[in-house]
Amino acid sequence: MMDDYGAAERSGRDVEFCTMGMFILDDIDFDGTIPNVKNVLGGAASFAVVGARLVSGTENSRSVSWIVDVGSDFPPEALEVINSWDTNCVIREDQGRLTTRAWNGYGANEKRDFKYLTPKLRLEPEMLSDAQVLSKTFHMVCSSSRCISIVQNILRRREELRQAGKAPSSEHTTKRPVFVWEPIPDLCTPEEQERFLAANQVVDVVSPNELELGMMFGQPGWSEETDYGKNIVTKILDSGIGPGGNGHLVIRAGKDGSYSYSRTQRVWLPAYHQPSVSRASPVVDPTGAGNSFLGALTQGMVSAGRGPAKVIDSVLAESTTWHKAVNAGAQHGQILIALIVATVAASFVVEQIGVPHMSTSSDGKELWNETEFTERVRLYTQRLYRTLEESPREHFQVN
């Protein structure tokens, strides 16, 4: 268990990613279409960490940090999976309570019902260790008012550590961290709209999915092709994302990929798994794909110059469209690479119920679902390069 900055320093890594998401064990009811499952690793924390961990690779796995609350009923096999990822995981054991559990019910037309089966234990900023508070990035899944409170408390604690001389002198502890916020679906309502716009101003990336964004503005969903869809984006950007207004609205659109907007550019990236008439879809269960997308995006914002980023830069080196888009990225030039690794990370999560399976190849390479993450990044980026050359404006528009 890590309880001070020294522990993280002794592990040889700064914390680069920290999620405020909860760990949950899921029971999933598929309404008779396939057998129900229990004790599935879930919650925003598990899936966001998988996304960040895919991007970090084995070399930087200890820079991914999170908290797992373990109750008296915690299954040992779940702990084995968590330990196999080799993250900077803080296990908090309490034999006097049950692990947070939830029921997920799937019905017709991808309708999903969710309810907690045991009392939830929410994470608060004061629960973070000093090392976690000094993380380069934070991922949050919460209401608008809680988002503002979390950001304020983390920034306050960072300043207190600096004043007390408890923060190392590395550059990232004096810089503002990257905050990525996922609004909770229940509060994506017109009544919440003003609070939503206020919360956007304290984060660097805000990411609802297309249904949630539509609901926030009184629509059944969001579509870029509609006038109201364009007006929603304009209103959010005019209100401002991030302290300087240079942040990003990232709209997760499931099988249609993702859309990212800032004051300087618009980006559309297709999903990794595309429909095919010649083969069955590899998509089994979309649960957690959005969390993993954002975990990977968050880690991707601080992973310049590493394996996945090098692969992307190499494949797109000759693309003038790509270089224009990177240059338009303002203070967050890394957002494009982050969006690509996020798209690829989500592709692993939808291929099974629960988290993807990690293993090691005969020559010592890390595999997820029998595939190297960087190899899938290469395949996706090669496809992107071809469509970039054919229809650049479909993907990137610089304002």
pLDDT of residue 12: 42
DSSP string, 41-109: EEHHHHHHHHHHHHHHTGGGGGGEEEEEEE-TT--HHHHHHHHHTT-EEEEEE-TTSPPPEEEEEE-GG
| 233 Cα distance to chain centroid | 21
Q: In this structure, is the dihedral angle defined by the CA atoms of residues 85, 88, 89 and 92, taken in order, positive or negative?
A: positive
Choose among 169, 132, 133, 176: nearest CA to 153. 133
Strands laid side by side in the 112-116 sheet = 37-42, 24-29, 101-106, 112-116
Cβ(68)–Cβ(89) below 8 Å: yes
Pairing label, strands 258-261, 265-269: antiparallel
**Distance between CA atoms of residues 157 and 148, nearest Å:** 14
**Distance between CA atoms of residues 187 and 202, nearest Å:** 18
Range 5-398: architecture per CATH: 3-Layer(aba) Sandwich (3.40)
- How many Cβ atoms are within 10 Å of 84's Cβ, its own excluded? 12
Cβ(324)–Cβ(395) below 8 Å: no
Pairing label, strands 88-93, 64-70: parallel
pLDDT of residue 329: 64
Residue with tokens 């996706």: 380
| 398 Cα distance to chain centroid | 25
pLDDT of residue 9: 42
Cβ(178)–Cβ(247) below 8 Å: no
| Residues 6+ away with beta carbon under 8 Å from 380 | 272, 340, 343, 344, 347
Q: Which helix (H) or strand (E) holds 378?
A: helix 373-390
Taking the whole predicted model, whether its pTM rises above 0.75 is answered as yes
Cβ(10)–Cβ(131) below 8 Å: no
- How many Cβ atoms are within 10 Å of 175's Cβ, its own excluded? 10
pLDDT tens string, the chain, 399 residues long: the values are: 334 444 444 344 689 999 999 999 999 888 877 888 899 999 999 999 999 999 999 999 999 999 999 999 999 999 999 999 999 999 999 999 999 999 988 776 556 788 999 999 999 999 999 999 999 999 999 999 999 999 999 999 999 999 998 888 776 777 899 999 999 999 999 999 999 999 999 999 999 999 999 999 999 999 999 999 999 999 999 999 999 999 999 999 999 999 999 998 999 999 999 987 778 889 988 889 999 999 999 999 999 999 999 999 999 999 988 988 888 765 566 899 999 999 999 999 999 999 999 999 999 999 999 999 999 999 999 999 999 989 999 999 887
Domain boundaries, the chain: 5-398
Pairing label, strands 17-19, 88-93: unpaired
Residue with tokens 């020294």: 6
**Distance between CA atoms of residues 214 and 232, nearest Å:** 8
C-alpha Rg value of the chain to the nearest Å: 20
Residue 284 DSSP label? -
Residue 200 sits at φ, ψ, to 5 deg, of -55, -30
